[in-house]
Structure 1
């Protein structure tokens, strides 16, 4: 017996070697594979180019609205408005989100196969080609159709072709992510999928279902119309198809921020995820309630029965449920962490949070901005109050508070640690200080600009306008102070963009070499077990399809059958 024990005993030095090998293996599994990192970084390079150019266009806009600046070289105001909206609302967000999703799935579900990665690169180059084609048309003033690009404004057919390539490119990206998810599920039967991977799948299901609407109007209405194949189109159908996509687009921006809040932030502060099941349920509900609600963007439009508008407003307000669940889960995580550090009293835990860490503080400011942003969303989706603000710059202020503050600040917080993780560099203390300045500067600039937009909107200042076209001494006296405030805010924001570009370039190329953690939170010990029903896609996709058909089938039939004279012009519409 003693001899047998001696034979199986591991030498102390060999034990250290085994432990070292296990540690190295764990570190390798926690790091995104170099080949996947290359694909993710390709997306981030494009995202930050879009931030630079779109930010410059935004600065020029607010300077023009101040009445103190005239655009040079015959550049039109609506031309730079289109550049700003498309680059920041579509290009920046799409490329950043896909870079983040690729990294998240690779980190939590394992390295992509060569075949899966090929789908990703095809999607990337389709998006690049489409973006370049659309951008050239905008710069040539052949596609000055604003961010929403819906009829009766018409662009060159190449603009619509470029947008189509971008959308098809994202479908290749989603195919890559779905294949990896399926591969993980096959290798781990009966196990709930990694939380970040699950959230990625939900986000892209929502995106793919939503883009069916915009792809349909572009391919079967706008593209044939711009080519002269058809003379007229049904504008009501076109706008409805756009907003079938347009509202989920807002959640396509927001869900990656939720991913960081639920999974990344707990690890950064040293705490744990309050509840895996609660996080999954909130994402399921956001999928169900984000798509069949586009009519609340069309409350002022004719041709849609008020009863259907009312139904979709009710569905819109149901989004409050997962939003409240998210707020509860996040602040439960923060409080649990604070209590574990000895915090006392009702708000003693607040002092224990790592306020000097930009990876936490800047996204946290974004969380707080979502409170007034959500309140503004309630105004926009309420029929009577929407009549007051619908075509005013209040709406623009709302988007700058939600997408450009809540979402973008969270994206900045992600970039601080993700870029160096992918490039093998370190987010240094010096860069952390600059990031704090950058994020706070952004917050100050957006407070000026978004606040002024909300105030001017309540006074009737129109959106999508340089204001100067409306004239009138009384209007000028009311609006000019707010226009100047917007110019001040926009200037501060542009300084923040310069700082962010400095941080990005350093993290991509010049920061010290090293290992930067990809923080993925662990679930708290007291959390309930995650039910497998969340991975039952037949159930959730079936409910999603039923809600969409219920909310849109009869209104679409009505829009097509009762189109005004001269609005049809195409046999399918």
Structure 2
């Protein structure tokens, strides 16, 4: 029965909804990629922005459009696709809610983008107070979040519907994963919604004179850290469930995959304060507790690494591989659907090592607020995650549009992935090196003039510009591939690869006990944040207490 269900194409109407999300995502890739190129050129000291465009204006465009718009639209389109594929076609009501969510998100994106382009919202990706944006920017961000909640509602409704129709059975693995990521996103975005609606928007409208900056930053990072896992878990979905099918193997363990996702739900949210280790107002003891909670995420990460490479080795052995690493030769290195996400997997090894440094109570002081942190983000989000998203697009876009990935496009996709990797090696590597020399995060460096310290950074700034230029070529290639697969590739049936478990294990139904898992998540959040928030509110400087408790 499961095998028959996995042969079904995604319903054309659900495909249109998913494709609408992908169109916005790839437009965001073009706009954000151009802004990123301009940033690296400015930082090289060899280029000045034309027409009065500000450096921090394009920095905001790059961060918001790629970090929030590209990722959110792609992830929602992908999750709607996999749920429609494995849990069943959306009902008319669910599809309508999805379309409303899409248009609410798109409207919010346009509002926020207009304000940034008018230089009314050059507040960077984190939009920290006391930097203030136009009220329409905050309204736009709110609409993006609300629209994503509506998309998430579709996934929750379909999951509930499937469970009612299949009592006592474990839900399809990738539907389960999409649900976990959706729940994590909804819980996490409560933080950014609170700071925008209760603090920044009233302040921007002139309804209040001040805001509690420390509370604002803490609410942002309550959201900002699980945002990283919101990006990452869809890549994990592909690694766990889709890549095994592409290589011709089996999922190592259904239960292990579910457990790892549950652990990500539990450990990804109550840890945001580790981004604030050098900020005042938060007791060091609570910072240290959140550092410990942060390191617990290593557990599901190592479980994932073990599961993935066990899948690869099992496949290789089944094809007659000998020796310790003989199975590597059996993997489909000529298939872009595999090799590009595989590069993403490998990049997550140094990215994870850098993350351990960022989250460490002591080593964080060496790299805090340096461009090292930017280099880390570009290894995690812009390499591990984005390359996996590209790998997904190579087969999902033609599947949804009734076309096929040709040999020519497959070869170009491999070239695109390798080009991206080369560019990111230059850029992210230079960022890490410059960060160790003290180069500041976010800065154009122009204010440092001809100082001796700034002179040390010049070779790394030029390397960043080289890497950024190569990355922009890779973006152009990706946009060409997307347009081809969406509109011009030959008509046909492209496989939607969903893997099957290696054994006939029945996952424990405790994984489907959402009262338990959401309850534990809430308890962990209350434990990690209650006392720090009380301290931030009670000990706020004079003038920042005037607006209710904020």
Contact 1:285 1:319 in 2 (8 A): yes
C-alpha deviation, 1:26, in angstroms: 4.1
Is residue 2:540 matched to residue 1:531? Answer: no
Matches within 5 A, 1:481-500: 481-500=459-478
Aligned positions of 1:381-530 closer than 5 A: 381-525=359-503, 528-530=505-507
- State the partner residue of 1:18: none
1:80 paired with 2:55, answer: no
Please point out which of 544, 548, 553 is paired with 2:530.
553
Deviation at 1:27, TM superposition (A): 7.7
CA contact (8 A) 2:110 2:140 kept: yes
Alignment match, 1:255: 233
1:318 aligns to what? Answer: 296
| 3-state DSSP of counterpart to 1:384 | coil
Cross-structure match for 1:243: 221
- Asked if structure 1 preserves the Cα contact closer than 8 Å seen for 2:370 and 2:439, the reply is yes
* Whole-Å separation in 1 of the counterparts to 2:437 and 2:362: 17
**Number of residue equivalences:** 550
Distance 2:484 2:342 in 1: 24
Does the 8 Å contact 2:6/2:498 carry over to 1? Answer: no
Cα distance in 2 for residues equivalent to 1:238 and 1:391: 18
Runs of 4+ in 1 over 3 A off after TM superposition: 25-29
The counterpart of 2:196, out of the listed 218, 221, 243, is 218
TM-superposed CA distance for 1:41, in Å, is 0.2
Q: How far, CA to CA, are the matches of 1:474 and 1:329 in structure 2? A: 49
Aligned to 1:13: none
Partners of 1:149 and 1:521 lie apart in 2 by 41
Mapped pair 1:63 → 2:45 = no
Q: Counterparts of 1:367 and 1:481 in 2: how far apart (Å)?
A: 29
Point out the more displaced range, 467-476 or 253-262.
Answer: 467-476
Gaps of 5+ in 1: 1-21
Q: Distance in 1 between matches of 2:336 and 2:277?
A: 40
Does residue 282 in structure 1 map to residue 272 in structure 2? no
Superimposed CA distance per residue, residues 362-385 of structure 1 (whole angstroms, 9 cap, x where no aligned partner) = 100000000000000000001211
Please give the alpha-carbon distance, in whole angstroms, between the structure 1 residues aligned to 2:453 and 2:35.
25
TM-score (norm 2): 0.99
Question: Residue 265 in 1 paired to residue 243 in 2?
Answer: yes
Deviations 1:48-100 (A, max 9, x none): 00000000000000000111111000000000000000110000000000010
Match of 1:329 in 2: 307
**Superposed counterparts of 1:25-424, under 5 Å:** 26=4, 30-424=8-402
The TM-score normalised by the length of structure 1 is 0.95
Q: Deviations over 1:212-260 (max 9, x none)?
A: 0000000000000000000001001000000000000000000000000
CA-atom RMSD in angstroms = 1.2
Cα distance in 1 for residues equivalent to 2:240 and 2:151: 23
Query: Bigger shift: 124-133 or 468-477?
Result: 468-477
Greater Rg by CA: 1
